[in-house]
Copies of this chain bind each other. A is one copy, B any other.
């Protein structure tokens, strides 16, 4: 184990005080060019790297931004994390990721973890942490929330118009002549899932189509649920010519179930998803879906955070959703 190089050692080597070295590192005051040069040289000679802990302890700022996500391996949140990462890049701030696994207790602990790590701000991606807790945290440090709207923190919350997305998706199917459109719903406790059902329903009603509860199957945002739901639908002999799945992962499941039942997409059944996961461009056929600007959302959240850290307002904007028409939807065959 090599001994660690401290700022003091650098100072001694350079024949200056540690404050001077600190000033040079932080650019916090004027230092004569000669000394700066010299110190800089010695720093790199000794391969000095400041101890972030000591720095954080002394200054009260750690340059860390905590990011509470639900699943580090989720294809959906992945791009958002990447967006956050990208926006923070080069700002001196670094993201610190931690997952809550859709589990309240874990989420709460994750927040405590971040706080005890003295992060300078927290970005929360969805999840179920009570509004009150987030409000509390927001009183202590900058907070930006994605996918939820917290009373009193509206300015720091970035939401997506799930209703509009679902509405567009369903309208698209209607405009292709579909009249019996099934919906595979998402995890019932999720606000997003509820909004998508509402959007679906509103679209039907906007053209006077009946809302048939039998056509709405419960799901949970995972492939298996889509598979099961579509299987049930086919086996129950309810007629439908199109399916709107509340997310792409379930759409994949639906796709496979239809395939197993000998139904072709899009010839026999049109299929729309929601999210536009990276893989949806490469399914067979490529999936028509509602695109969420997930990476942009991450970027926007991080930029809002940077603004808060600068003492400005977050001013994160509501992000728009858009339907990407690919090949899984087609005009209904006149039968």
Contacts and interface: CB of A to CB of B under 8 A. Distances in A.
Interface string A1-29: 11000000000000000000000000000
A96 B99 contact: no
A72 B85 contact: yes
A282 B255 contact: yes
A282 B227 contact: yes
A79 B85 CA distance: 19
A183 interface: no
Interface string A267-306: 0000000000011011111100000000000000000000
Given A71-B82, A78-B72, A139-B1, A256 B286 contact: yes
A237 interface: no
A265 to B, nearest CB: 8
A81 interface: yes
Interface string A152-184: 000000000000000000000000000000000
A140 B49 contact: no
Q: Tell me if A's interface is mostly helix, strand, loop or mixed.
A: helix
A94 to B, nearest CB: 7
Contacts of A286: 256
Contacts of A75: 73, 75, 78, 278-279
A113 B94 CA distance: 9
A50 interface: yes
A284 B282 contact: no
A128 interface: no
Given A72-B72, A252-B279, 17 more contacts: A1-B140, A2-B139, A49-B112, A51-B57, A51-B118, A52-B116, A57-B57, A73-B75, A73-B78, A73-B79, A75-B279, A94-B113, A256-B283, A259-B284, A259-B285, A279-B279, A283-B284
Nearest 4 CB-CB pairings of A with B: A73-B78, A252-B282, A73-B82, A49-B116
Interface of A: 1-2, 49-54, 56-57, 62, 71-75, 78-79, 81-82, 85, 94, 96-99, 112-113, 115-118, 139-141, 223, 227, 252-253, 255-256, 259, 278-279, 281-286
30 contacts: A1-B139, A1-B141, A49-B115, A50-B116, A51-B116, A51-B118, A52-B117, A53-B56, A53-B57, A53-B62, A53-B117, A53-B118, A54-B57, A71-B82, A72-B72, A72-B82, A72-B97, A73-B75, A73-B79, A74-B78, A75-B75, A75-B279, A78-B78, A82-B99, A94-B98, A223-B282, A227-B282, A259-B284, A279-B279, A283-B284
